[in-house]
Amino acid sequence: MNVFSYEQASSAAAAINLAKTSQEPRYLGGGTNLVDLMREGIERPETLIDITQLPGAIERRVDGGLLIGAAARNTALAADPYVRLHFPMLARSILAGASAQIRNMATVGGNILQRTRCRYFYDDASRCNKRQPGAGCDAKDGFNRYHAILGASQDCVATHPSDMCVALVALDAVLHLDGPEGARTIPLSDFHRLPGDRPDIETELRQNELITAIEVPAFPFGRHSTYRKVRDRASYAFALVSAAAAIDIDEAGKVRDIRLALGGVAHKPWRALKAEATLRGEAATAASFRAAAEAELASAVGLKDNEFKIELAKRTIVAVLDELKGEGV
Ligand SMILES: Cc1cc2nc3c(=O)[nH]c(=O)nc-3n(C[C@H](O)[C@H](O)[C@H](O)COP(=O)(O)OP(=O)(O)OC[C@H]3O[C@@H](n4cnc5c(N)ncnc54)[C@H](O)[C@@H]3O)c2cc1C
């Protein structure tokens, strides 16, 4: 590990000012991803700016939505009684990730900005366009069971590993950012990028910008939501495919509204807009759920080791919607 300095910030403004004084600053949340990357020599910050003293409250807004300080720990968000009751997909997505110890350390901001788990990104003997632009991609013809089936490019087939982000994208979450050029907001669905020919640029975050909070709008049928993660081991494994879903079915058995997002399939948490559009106004049946899944996965492309994920994603969509329907939505 390289030599680095460590600073603690007591406010967003202080953190941003500290970042300006360093050539290679990194904000430090729980450190559960960043410190691993530093150990591997993939991240080599000059200065670590500890932002865990910044706001981390989980506030219920008057309209029923949430404002979550970016320093909130993953465990605190998953355990919050209001979140568990009104946004079960969010609580369940967090609990599906990592381990209790890691969730105790990990912050919500850090979870959103965690890097891919592509093994070729972590192995500096391999070629990786994300780590070294222009180097090539050893994942494309390597072991790519966990890699992308949607939105990938010739240059990168990595996936975004967060479970929590899948639920947040389905919930239309909005990020509050602050940085040298001032504060702004951005929908989470626009924040992570598809790889294109610049997989090294993973998000729309500008230099030295901070995530300060995450806003989750009120969600009338949020109580009828869930998160399902399909993985190689029952716990402590990243998703092969996951789905965050909520569905609102009217008295006639038709889909009044639906939210659906997929994880483990793309370089970003994948909002399943085609499936949503296919289902709105249709009868909530296994056949229409399957048609929606087919529409969403129509453009999917499998790699050597992950062709199976296309069918798995379709079945996961159908299963999660069937499960919600069975709960009497
Ligand atoms: C063994 C293991 C298994 C795991 N399994 C899963 C899993 O199954 N599912 C899953 O979703 N995750 C999993 N994780 C990942 C874990 O969720 C992340 O490591 C964690 O959420 C990162 O949060 P952190 O606060 O520790 O981030 P850090 O490691 O502190 O930071 C990560 C990145 O975010 C930046 N950053 C942090 N906070 C901010 C902010 N507020 N503004 C701007 N930049 C910021 C840092 O500079 C860094 O680049 C696993 C991790 C490990 C080690």
Q: Which comes out higher in pLDDT, residue 286 or 328?
A: 286
Is pLDDT above 60 for 329? no
In the CATH scheme, what architecture does the domain 225-326 have? 2-Layer Sandwich (3.30)
Rounded Cα distance between 289 and 261, Å, is: 14
Rounded Cα distance between 55 and 80, Å, is: 16
Q: Note the pLDDT tens digit of each residue in 283-292.
A: 999 999 999 9
Asked whether 266 and 194 are in contact (CB, 8 A), the reply is yes
Categorize the per-residue pLDDT at 262 as very low, low, confident or very high, splitting at 50, 70 and 90: very high
pLDDT of residue 210: 98
Asked whether 302 and 308 are in contact (CB, 8 A), the reply is yes
From 33, 104, 116, 208, the mutation candidate for ligand 1 (largest count of ligand atoms within 8 A of CB) is 33
C-beta neighbour count of 13 within 10 angstroms = 11
The average pLDDT across 317-322 equals 98
Give, to the nearest 10 degrees, the angle between helix 308-326 and helix 286-297: 140
Q: Note the pLDDT tens digit of each residue in 170-199.
A: 999 999 999 999 999 999 999 999 999 999
Contact 210 CB / ligand 1 (< 6 Å): yes
For tokens 């090294």, what's the residue? 200
Mean pLDDT of all residues belonging to the chain = 97
Contact 238 CB / ligand 1 (< 6 Å): yes
Q: Note the pLDDT tens digit of each residue in 148-171.
A: 999 999 999 999 999 999 999 999
Task: Indicate where the chain has its CATH 3.30.43.10 domain(s).
Answer: 1-54
At the topology level, CATH places domain 1-54 in: 3.30.43
Residue nearest ligand 1's atom 36 by CA: 110
The average pLDDT across 301-318 equals 98
pLDDT of residue 152: 98
Contact 30 CB / ligand 1 (< 6 Å): yes
Categorize the per-residue pLDDT at 327 as very low, low, confident or very high, splitting at 50, 70 and 90: low
pLDDT of residue 2: 82
At 267, list the tokens: 């370089």
Distance 206 CA to ligand 1 centre (A): 18
Task: Indicate where the chain has its CATH 3.30.390.50 domain(s).
Answer: 225-326
Categorize the per-residue pLDDT at 1 as very low, low, confident or very high, splitting at 50, 70 and 90: low
Q: Note the pLDDT tens digit of each residue in 39-76.
A: 999 999 999 999 999 999 999 999 999 999 999 999 99
pLDDT of residue 92: 98
